[in-house]
Amino acid sequence: MALTDLKIQSIKGADKPQKIADAEGMYLFVSASGSKAWRFDYGYGGKRFTYTIGKYPQVGLAAARAKRAELKAKLLSGLNPAIEKRTQKVLARSSVTDTFESIADDWYTTKYANRSESWRVSNKLYLSRDLNPKIGNLPIQDVSGPILRAVLEQCAEKHGLKTADRVRQTALQVFEHGILTFKTKENPAKLLRGWKEIPPRKNRPHLPEHQVTNLIEAMDAYPGYLTTKLAAKMLLLTFVRKTEVTEARWEEVDMVSATWTIPAERMKMKDPHIVPLSKQALEMLEILRTNSHGSEYVFPKSSTLLKPISRTALNNMFSKMDEGKYKGQFSPHGIRSTASTWANGDGRFRGDVVERQLAHAERNQIRGDYNHAQYLPERRQLMQAWADFLFPIVQEAA
């Protein structure tokens, strides 16, 4: 028999919970304490489900029956009301907890261990300075293209278009991580590819090989810290990137085998890199070992042995050398281009040997997968020939 408001009001709690039927699968669930709630039992896919409509008297009899009719209509259309309700709860909860910042933190954490220090520093900066203060508290699924574009516009005004587009690339990876973890469905940063006409990248300035002698003379005359000057010369002697030199540790150097092995985590391509050391490089390392005073770093700061020289130390040196002659005309990274030009033009060394010494990735991926050759004997000859070109060894007269 269908329930009435009068009958519902007269129902009291009992020793155990009661189910008092209304009709068509809906009933009033009465707990032992006397609290009442509307429930609806139904079958779906051969299983029994229970949907809690709401508490009485907050949900009255008429409202409960109206909801029952709504639920039955959903069943007729093939939907499972209980599963749909559960899904809506998850979505509502994720809209609060799955903010852009929380997804960005998760993305950064999962990538951190396998990325270079420069990647860590730059992406952390873009998140903490440009993205999180503006959109970090927003649910990631609510960050639309127009919202992200406004953030990029502000970044471009403060830091330039190239930096703003690098911020966009960081955001793109965060949204991609959100999609892969089912936190959002759209990637507005991908839609904003080409949002501005980004100035073309300029090649870093480098010197023709015939001007290298003048560069070395300017290094010798520079009235700076000896460790910085030797770091600049080691950069010349090894073909490596600036941070790979400035953050070098003694544990990486084997003076007996004349090799310097840079671990994968410090390499741009995330592969360990073996650098054959010339006689001239070994001589400089002997000087550096004395001047490092027990520091773990080959090139420690002048103010503390616990840290390496700064990333900007070499840039500052080159910009000040010879009364600023090299400012804008040469950069630490340009040494690699100068060395590559000399090596490829010398005629004694194969292109594969030069590229391996530069630690460049193989552009042909299939070839790269199988070509793990280190070419160490040829690279050792290359590095000694380059060192002899830079710092000729004077032969004493017999």
Give the separation between CA 187 and CA 193, rounded to whole angstroms. Answer: 11
Q: Is it the case that residue 107 has pLDDT exceeding 90?
A: yes
Q: Is the pTM of this model over 0.85?
A: no
Q: What is the pLDDT of residues 227-251, one digit of tens each?
A: 999 998 998 898 888 888 899 999 9
Average pLDDT over residues 252-258: 94
Catalogue all structural domains in the chain, each as residue range(s) with its CATH number. Answer: 5-95 (3.30.160.390), 100-191 (1.10.150.130), 209-390 (1.10.443.10)
Report pLDDT for 344.
85
pLDDT reading at 373 higher than 90: no
Q: What is the pLDDT of residues 323-369, one digit of tens each?
A: 888 776 667 777 788 888 888 888 888 888 888 888 775 444 434 44
- Closest Cα to residue 338, out of 271, 296, 286, 390? 390
Residues 6+ apart with CB under 8 A from 137: 99, 100, 101
pLDDT computed for residue 204 by the predictor: 53
pLDDT of residue 87: 76
* Residues 54 and 64: beta-carbon distance below 8 Å: yes
Contact 252, 262 (CB under 8 A): yes
- pLDDT class of 55 with cuts at 50, 70, 90: very high
Largest CA distance in the chain: 123
CB within 8 A of 57, min separation 6: which ones? 36
The structure tokens listed for 135 are 């959109």
Q: How confident is the model at residue 207, as a pLDDT?
A: 72
Give me the pLDDT at residue 329, please.
67
pLDDT band for position 213 (50/70/90)? confident
How do residues 148-187 score in pLDDT, each as one tens digit? Answer: 999 999 999 988 898 999 999 999 999 999 999 988 999 9
The whole-angstrom separation of Cα 269 and Cα 115 is 9
Residues 12-44: tens digit of each pLDDT? 988 899 999 998 899 999 999 899 999 999 999
The answer on pLDDT for 61 being more than 90 is: yes
Pick the more confident residue, 342 or 283: 283
Between residues 368 and 313, which one has the greater pLDDT? 313
Q: Cα separations (Å) of 364 from 186, 360, 367? A: 32, 12, 5
β-strand pairing of 26-30 with 36-44: antiparallel
Q: Strands 259-262, 47-56: parallel, antiparallel or unpaired by DSSP? A: unpaired
pLDDT of residue 363: 42
Q: 204, 337 in Cβ contact below 8 A?
A: yes
pLDDT at 327: 78
Q: Which residue has the tokens 């009291």?
A: 12
Q: What's CA 114's distance to the chain center, in Å?
A: 9
User: Which has the closest alpha carbon to 130: 148, 118, 105?
Assistant: 148
Q: How far apart are CA 386 and CA 357, in angstroms?
A: 12
Per-residue HEC secondary structure of the chain comes to: CCCCHHHHHHCCCCCCCEEEEEECCEEEEECCCCCEEEEEEEEECCEEEEEEEEEECCCCHHHHHHHHHHHHHHHHCCCCHHHHHHHHHHHHHHHHHCEHHHHHHHHHHHHHCCCCHHHHHHHHHHHHHHHHHHHCCCEHHHCCHHHHHHHHHHHHHHHCHHHHHHHHHHHHHHHHHHHHCCCCCCCHHHHCCCCCCCCCCCCCCCCCHHHHHHHHHHHHHCCCCHHHHHHHHHHHHHCCCHHHHHCCEHHHEECCCCEEEECHHHCCCCCCEEEECCHHHHHHHHHHHHHCCCCCECCECCCCCCCECCCCHHHHHHHHHHHHCCCCCCCCCHHHHHHHHHHHHHCCCCHHHHHHHCCCCCCCHHHHHHCCCCCHHHHHHHHHHHHHHHCCCCCCCC
Cβ-contact 72, 49 below 8 angstroms: no
pLDDT of residue 323: 81
Binned at pLDDT 50, 70 and 90, residue 205 comes out as: low
- Banded pLDDT at 92 (limits 50, 70, 90): low
